[in-house]
């Protein structure tokens, strides 16, 4: 995503300053102050920002990707609800009886919560019990693996998992195989991202593919509108697709 944003901005005549707040509110606040001080023209906020209170009070040229930040800040996001439906329905169609979902904590304002809502809605429609395990995006790998081990310990009957991202889907598959599950015969796993790195490193993963290039170009388009003084710039939701792999 970062490289695509830089490309789209370059094509429109803008240089790019990339910053990773590393879950540090002070670092993120520094970038906001760059904007307030006129050192940068606009700000694109990523999915894992800290939700600073200052965002609520600004009408500055800011656009968010995949996260609700403030009412005045437009968001560009994948259709996470449709993606959640797509993944869950695929597992149901494949005959899965016990489907579990992994997702970010509900307190986070990520659009991932729309995926969870779709999963829960569809499971209830099919008279199944929705079960979600929360996984922090920035947790160490060993902490994530501990949560995934808990899934298999508490629900050995699990035969389908809708993972919150491709990396976690990969970790789940690796762990499941270590525990003796045959993928996809005994356990089917669907990821969510479909980034280029996934297609290169794990092309066999069945996943919901986000339109990364379109997300980047649309975010830049909206940001330039904000830089040019346009108000009431509408948020944009972009469609997702199912990448057919062999894990579901």
For 48-92, write each residue's pLDDT tens digit: 555 666 777 667 899 999 988 888 899 999 999 999 999 999 999
Indicate the number of domains in the chain: 2
Q: Is 228 helix (H, G, I), strand (E, B) or coil?
A: coil
Considering the domain architecture, whether residues 66 and 187 belong to the same structural domain is answered as no
Considering the domain architecture, whether residues 129 and 204 belong to the same structural domain is answered as yes
Domain presence at residue 244: no
Tens digit of each residue's pLDDT (9 = 90 or more) over 91-146: 999 999 999 999 988 766 678 899 999 999 999 999 999 999 999 988 999 999 99
Considering the domain architecture, whether residues 73 and 87 belong to the same structural domain is answered as no
Tens digit of each residue's pLDDT (9 = 90 or more) over 178-214: 999 999 999 999 999 988 778 787 889 999 999 999 9
What is the CB neighbour count within 10 angstroms for residue 74?
Answer: 21
Mean pLDDT across 155-159: 98
Considering the domain architecture, whether residues 215 and 127 belong to the same structural domain is answered as no
Give the alpha-carbon dihedral of 222, 240, 114, 144, to 10 degrees. Answer: -110
Considering the domain architecture, whether residues 130 and 186 belong to the same structural domain is answered as yes
Considering the domain architecture, whether residues 109 and 41 belong to the same structural domain is answered as no
Considering the domain architecture, whether residues 15 and 131 belong to the same structural domain is answered as no
Radius of gyration from C-alpha coordinates of the chain: 19
Residue with tokens 């979902």: 101
Domain presence at residue 246: no
Q: Are 95 and 127 in contact (CB under 8 A)?
A: no
What is the CB neighbour count within 10 angstroms for residue 175?
Answer: 16
The Cα 193–Cα 75 span in angstroms is 18
Domain presence at residue 248: no
Which structure tokens are listed for 57? 């009070």
Considering the domain architecture, whether residues 97 and 204 belong to the same structural domain is answered as yes
CATH number for the domain that contains residue 113: 3.40.50.2300
Q: Is 91 helix (H, G, I), strand (E, B) or coil?
A: helix
Q: Is 46 helix (H, G, I), strand (E, B) or coil?
A: coil
Mean pLDDT across 148-165: 98
- Cβ burial of 69 (10 Å; 0-12, 13-18, 19+) is buried
Q: Is 18 helix (H, G, I), strand (E, B) or coil?
A: coil
The domain of 22 spans 2-78+210-239
The Cα 37–Cα 29 span in angstroms is 12
Considering the domain architecture, whether residues 86 and 69 belong to the same structural domain is answered as no
Considering the domain architecture, whether residues 34 and 21 belong to the same structural domain is answered as yes
Question: What does the pLDDT read at residue 49?
Answer: 59
């Amino acid at each position: 995503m970062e490289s695509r944003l830089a490309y789209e901005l370059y094509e429109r005549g803008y240089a790019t300053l990339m910053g990773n707040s590393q879950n540090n509110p002070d670092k993120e606040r520094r970038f906001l102050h760059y904007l307030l001080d006129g050192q940068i023209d606009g700000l694109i906020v990523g999915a894992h920002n800290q939700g600073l209170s200052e965002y609520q009070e600004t009408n500055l040229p800011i656009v968010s990707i995949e996260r609700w930040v403030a009412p005045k800040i437009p968001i560009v996001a994948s259709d996470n609800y449709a993606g959640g439906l797509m993944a869950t329905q695929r597992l149901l169609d494949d005959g899965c009886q016990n489907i579990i979902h992994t997702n970010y904590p509900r307190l986070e304002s990520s659009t991932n919560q729309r995926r969870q809502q779709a999963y829960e809605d569809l499971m209830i429609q099919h008279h199944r019990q929705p079960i979600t395990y929360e996984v922090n995006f920035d947790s160490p790998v060993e902490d994530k693996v501990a949560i995934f081990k808990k899934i298999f310990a508490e629900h050995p009957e699990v035969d389908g998992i809708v993972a919150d991202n491709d990396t976690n889907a990969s970790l789940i598959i690796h762990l499941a195989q270590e525990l003796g599950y045959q993928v996809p015969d005994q356990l089917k796993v669907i990821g969510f991202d479909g980034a280029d790195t996934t297609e290169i490193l794990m092309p066999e993963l069945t996943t919901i593919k986000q339109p990364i290039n379109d997300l980047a170009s649309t975010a830049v388009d909206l940001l330039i509108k904000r830089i040019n003084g346009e108000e009431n710039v509408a948020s944009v939701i972009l469609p997702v697709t199912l990448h057919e792999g062999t894990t579901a």
